[in-house]
Amino acid sequence: MSLMGANFRRDLEIRQYPVLVYVLVPLVALVLQAWLPRVVRGYVWFDLPLVVTIYFALGRRSPIQGTMMGMFMGLFEDALSQHAIGVNGIAKTVCGFLAASVGVRIDVENYTIRLIMNFVLSLLASVIYVFVSRVLLGLDQEWRGLTELMKAVGNSVIALVLFPLLDRLQVRE
Amino acid sequence: MESFFVRYRNFLVLLAILLAQIVGLAVQVHRTDSGRNTDARDGTGVRLIRMWAEALVSPPERLIHSSKTGVGGLWGNYIDLRHVREQNQELQKTIDRLRLEQAELIEDAKQGQRLQAMLNFQEKYIYKTVAAQAIGTSGSDQSKVFFIDKGSADGLDRDMAVISADGIVGKVRDVFPHTAQVLAVNDQTSGAGVILETTRIRGILRGNANGQLEMVDILQDQRIKPGEKVLTAGGDMIFPRGLPVGVVEKVVPDPDRDSFIDVMITPAAHLDRLDEVLVITSTLPRLSPQQQQDVATSEAEKGAEAAAIHDQQVKEQQKASAIMAERLPGLMDPNLPPDKQPLLDSSNPDPVTRPAQALRPDRFTPLPKSAGGATDGKPETETGTSDAAKPAVPKAAAPKTTVPKPAAPKPTEPKATAPKATAPNQGDGSPTGRNQ
């Protein structure tokens, strides 16, 4: 009975977006992530692809779609770097899956929950990135706690501004 | 069973995707003698993915970069316009136009200054270079790479050095048709051979986790002081030697090795504010026409001098040959005119007459009856064989095998021919009978 209730609630709250939004928003996020570091001059305390991944995972409430979105964004970021392709992919895949899984059970309209979700998942993505780099690849990837903390805060702040803007793009029946 | 897959479908999909990516990572990792290395040359599939990603991101970046003022300039102009419009509608257009022109002029002037500095740098270091603009980054602070707007179509290739007017910047890591990926020197996976200017201590330059430049693999040395210049050593086959890298900021002990230190370096180039860069496409010196003429003149003079020396050496050799021929009369035939002497006859490669093959190479082999040899086992050097070998065999050859006292050589038979006659088996190279 409870399962049916959860599915019913989930079906009601699944957000729909135009197809163009699914293509353009991630692409714009990736382009801005690649271009903005030239403007902010080293203070790269944000991860726009991760924020967009979390947003669509929370909105769609489908773990599979969240997983796919995270994988796509992460692999794309890896392709722009000199590292092996898959490090960011694994991190954002897990984040997309968790965001969608949690989004089924909580009220994603709440700003505090959005803030906490972005903060926690940003830190988790950084932890997974360093773990994969050090353990699976054997690289000398150091953990920079302060930088990762600032990045998590930056992602949360960006999510507070960006999520309401993206909410306007959803299809309302 | 079906309910299991339906119930855990999401989790299974996650596991499958993670597993696929881990396998992909394993394929990309190249193990070397010094450990794992993921910075090696990418495979075809990986390079294709990078090319697609770059092809998607690069056009918007070029578009943003091509606008002179960019987003910041547009925002500034918007504020200015609003402020002017409040004051006076008529003055607004004039001020707007003037400010735009001024901004353009200032931007042009700044760009002109930067290009002038790069031109001076290029003239100072006479290498073949290609100027390029930085248009984008990897987007991650853990990956110090950036993209430039020149690629293989402009003559760029992997592992070319990238410099700015201030110093070295990095190396070309990957090349696409119209863009290229540059690995900055402050990346953790980067590496370059450097040397301290005054103390001449060599080390390896790389970036640390915070994006700072450091010189590693250096033994403790009290002579290293802050402020000393760091230059490229030229041994890495990427950066030409003598390019400025930066200055020593401080010296810290190596956390992993006791007797080693890390030298922190303030980079000469503004690695976080790169706009125009130069890619060194050839390390061969690019000479001016005057320099090329000087080199050609020098080469011609050097060739003439070498020819004169060669002629002189030939003459000296001929003179030495003549003196040698005079001192060795056996080499001269008194019955022949001077120009027909065997030594001067080039058609005769070996003027020395060789002896005929000995009939009995050792003392134990009996001579055949037809040769008139004895059958008692004693050597017969004075009998049958002597006639055959007589024209050429000097008498000095015989005593080595039979006669204890060597025969006195004739004046016309020099000793120089004797050793050739004493070796009966010289032709086949086998040991003589005396060794048996």
Residue A103 has pLDDT above 70, yes or no: yes
What is the reported pLDDT for B341?
Answer: 63
Q: Report d(CA A40, CA A157) in Å as an integer.
A: 16
Domain with CATH 2.40.10.340 in chain B: 126-310
Sole residue written with tokens 């080693």: B260
The pTM for the full model equals 0.62
Q: Report d(CA B136, CA A167) in Å as an integer.
A: 29
Min Cα–Cα distance to chain A from B119, Å: 24
Q: Which of A101-110, A120-129, B363-372, B392-401 has the lowest mean pLDDT?
A: B392-401
A86 neighbourhood in chain B, CB within 8 Å = 21-22, 24-25, 28
* DSSP string over B162-215: EE-SSSEEEEEEEE-SS-EEEEETTSTT--EEEEETTT--EEEEEE-TTS-EEE
Q: Give, to the nearest 10 degrees, the angle between helix A48-60 and helix A145-167.
A: 50
B192 within 8 A of B204, measured Cβ to Cβ: yes
Phi, psi of B349 (to 5 degrees): -70, -30
* Tokens matching residue B380: 């017969």
A79 within 8 A of A85, measured Cβ to Cβ: yes
- Counting residues of chain B whose pLDDT is more than 70, the rounded percentage is 62
B333 within 8 A of B403, measured Cβ to Cβ: no
Average pLDDT, chain B: 73
B381 within 8 A of B401, measured Cβ to Cβ: yes
Of B21, B49, B72, the CB nearest to A79: B49
* Tokens matching residue B340: 């027909």
Task: Give per-residue pLDDT as tens, A35-82.
Answer: 888 877 767 789 999 999 999 998 888 899 999 999 999 999 999 988
Of A34, A90, A129, the CB nearest to B139: A34
Q: Which residue in A102, A71, A74 sits closest to A88, CA to CA?
A: A74
How would residue B249 be classed by pLDDT, with cut points 50, 70 and 90?
very high
Residue B240 has pLDDT above 90, yes or no: no
Residue B436 has pLDDT above 90, yes or no: no
Q: Contact A41/B56, CB-based, under 8 Å?
A: no
Task: Give per-residue pLDDT as tens, B132-165.
Answer: 988 888 888 788 899 999 999 999 999 899 998 8
Within 10 angstroms of residue B258's Cβ, the number of other Cβ atoms is 8
Which of these CATH numbers, 3.40.190.290, 2.40.10.340, 2.30.42.10, 3.40.50.460, describes B126-310? 2.40.10.340
Q: Which residue in B24, B226, B115 sits closest to A75, CA to CA?
A: B24
What sign for the dihedral angle of Cα B64, B65, B69, B71?
positive
Residue B88 has pLDDT above 80, yes or no: no
Q: In Å, how far are A44, A155, B284, B291 from B281, measured between CA atoms?
A: 31, 41, 9, 21
B171 within 8 A of B197, measured Cβ to Cβ: no
Q: Report d(CA A101, CA A98) in Å as an integer.
A: 5
| Interface A:B, Cβ pairs < 8 A | 150
Measured distance between the N- and C-terminal CA atoms of chain B, rounded to whole angstroms? 92
Tell me the ipTM for this assembly: 0.88
Query: What is residue A42's three-state secondary structure?
Result: coil
* Tokens matching residue B295: 């080199």
How would residue B29 be classed by pLDDT, with cut points 50, 70 and 90?
confident
Task: Give per-residue pLDDT as tens, B268-327.
Answer: 998 887 888 989 888 665 566 776 777 788 778 777 888 888 888 888 888 887 787 777
CB interface of B with A, residues 200-239, below 8 Å: 208-211
Residue A158 has pLDDT above 90, yes or no: yes
